Structure 1
């Protein structure tokens, strides 16, 4: 048996997965704003590295064979909620809102200055 009694070494890998649900959107929005404010490789690198463990572990658990293959609607739901809704959408909102605010401030400053 592959995951029998005593094979719980993999359980600590799920702690970041559980913490990603409440805190991940805020972290991704912050990295999106960071990427918009400071161009360079470090913000973009952290944008990829930050969700790597929680999203990678949960995707692996979703795709591992557990006696039956995952259903298509389960995979689509996982991608929509966990990957797009919790990880990508907050980053896009943080990036977009920061760029929009900076553009509006630059426009006002240029017109009145």
Structure 2
């Protein structure tokens, strides 16, 4: 029992979810950069594990009240969650980090190769 309520253990899950909103794009952009810079399983695994807790906690909050699923506005909430939390905060920064780093590295390698020939 934290703060006097029996269900306050959910706070432990929602604190990372609330911090994911401002800092998640930075973290996902960094993992996208990391994936573009170093090959292997480790950076790709961290790209999946890092957002698992915050995005999973928010998804559980959206899905767990099963009574809401039968109402029509649940679909709008779910689509908004997909667009904002998964698309804009998690996937898009990763794609930008990876997508900007790969061409920049290729261009830099191309310039370095032509300069030495």
The 5 Å alignment of 1:1-113 reads 5-65=5-65, 67-69=67-69, 71-113=74-116
TM-score for both structures, normalised by structure 1: 0.90
TM-score for both structures, normalised by structure 2: 0.87
Name the count of aligned residue pairs.
109
- Extract unaligned runs of 5+ from structure 1: none
Separation of aligned partners in 2, 1:108 and 1:99: 14
C-alpha displacement of 1:100: 1.1
- Tell me the SS of whatever aligns to 2:39: coil
Separation of aligned partners in 2, 1:79 and 1:34: 24
Separation of aligned partners in 1, 2:115 and 2:9: 62
- Extract unaligned runs of 5+ from structure 2: none
Separation of aligned partners in 2, 1:66 and 1:14: 19
Superposition CA RMSD, Å: 1.3
C-alpha displacement of 1:67: 3.5
C-alpha displacement of 1:19: 0.3
| Per-residue deviation, residues 45-99 of structure 1 (Å, max 9, x unmatched) | 1111100100001011111126422621111111001101000000000001110
